[in-house]
Amino acid sequence: MKNVLLTVEYDGTNFAGWQRQPSVRTVQGVLEEGLSTVCGYPVTVEGASRTDAGVHALGASAGFRGDFGIPVERIPLAVNHIFRGRTPSPGVNGDLRIVQAREVPADFHPRFDAKGKKYRYIIRNRKEMPVFLRNYRYHVEKPLDVEQMKSAAAQVVGTHDFACFQATGSYPRRTTVRTVYFLSVEEGREGDIVIEVGGDGFLYNMVRIIAGTLTDVGLGKIPPEAMADIIAGRDRSRAGHTAPPQGLYLVEVYYQEA
């Protein structure tokens, strides 16, 4: 019985999120379908992170266990061939790819052994945005003050109770305390503003709420010095709006050497 860790990338536009659901196309469902075809029996995949509909991934992690004949290192080639040649939804082809497959110890779990995650959020801050980027950027027409956004972002870094950045009505957590290792705001190309954040874990919609709050700071709706008080208040209503999913990318899941 092999324990396999996968690194996958996907365009979330035509997925109803990560988690398997009946009658809708999800990343987990399509991934399990491809792996089951290659392995010759039903495969169940465990993901390290559950992304929402429309959210993308450059380096998501998932694992599965099985007794199969194909060499582990050839799994990406075989499954990606199926993904490229099959269209589960009209007009969709090749929007999910296994980047790497490697065998890990028997007691390794892709979610419980994760030490942290890195996300990227991209805002197109121009009056106009190409139609071809509508699924990959958050379009904000009014100019954003990046220096004010940076000032607010600096106050998020550290270990805090981040209840203010958790979506209302979320499933109750044992604790809403998390550690944010870094949070950067940089001006990119073509009018993009790139927000990157890494931490030991994130609450439901936490990154999108951080991005929305920083956007409101950049628009002058929230003063940057208020960020520390917003966090200390633990009140979702005091933070900014939830930025839309299409600007969000899961960049990497961190592990100790497995």
Domains and CATH numbers, the chain: 2-103 (3.30.70.580), 116-254 (3.30.70.660)
Give the residue numbers annotated as catalytic, written as ranges: 52
Residue with tokens 């958050």: 138
Quote the distance between the C-alpha of residue 5 and its chain's center. Answer: 18
Beta strands 2-10 and 96-103, pairing class: antiparallel
29 touches 45 (CB < 8 A): no
pLDDT surpasses 80 at 235: yes
Half-sphere exposure of 156 (CA within 13 A, CB side): 30
- Distance, CA of 153 to CA of 188 (rounded, Å): 17
Quote the distance between the C-alpha of residue 43 and its chain's center. Answer: 23
Residue (of 187, 33, 140) closest to 96 by Cα position: 33
Give per-residue pLDDT as tens, 13-51.
999 999 999 999 999 999 999 999 999 999 999 999 999
- The predicted pLDDT at position 173 comes to 80
Q: Is 138 annotated as a binding residue?
A: no
pLDDT surpasses 60 at 241: yes
Q: Which helix H or strand E contains 230, and what residues bound it? A: helix 227-233
Confidence (pTM):
0.94
Give per-residue pLDDT as tens, 102-149.
999 999 999 999 999 999 999 999 999 999 999 999 999 999 999 999
pLDDT surpasses 50 at 91: no
pLDDT surpasses 80 at 92: no
- Distance, CA of 240 to CA of 186 (rounded, Å): 19
Indicate the average pLDDT of the chain: 94
- Distance, CA of 203 to CA of 2 (rounded, Å): 31
pLDDT surpasses 60 at 95: yes
**111 CB neighbour count, 10 Å cutoff:** 14
First-last CA distance in the chain? 17
- The predicted pLDDT at position 94 comes to 84
**239 CB neighbour count, 10 Å cutoff:** 24
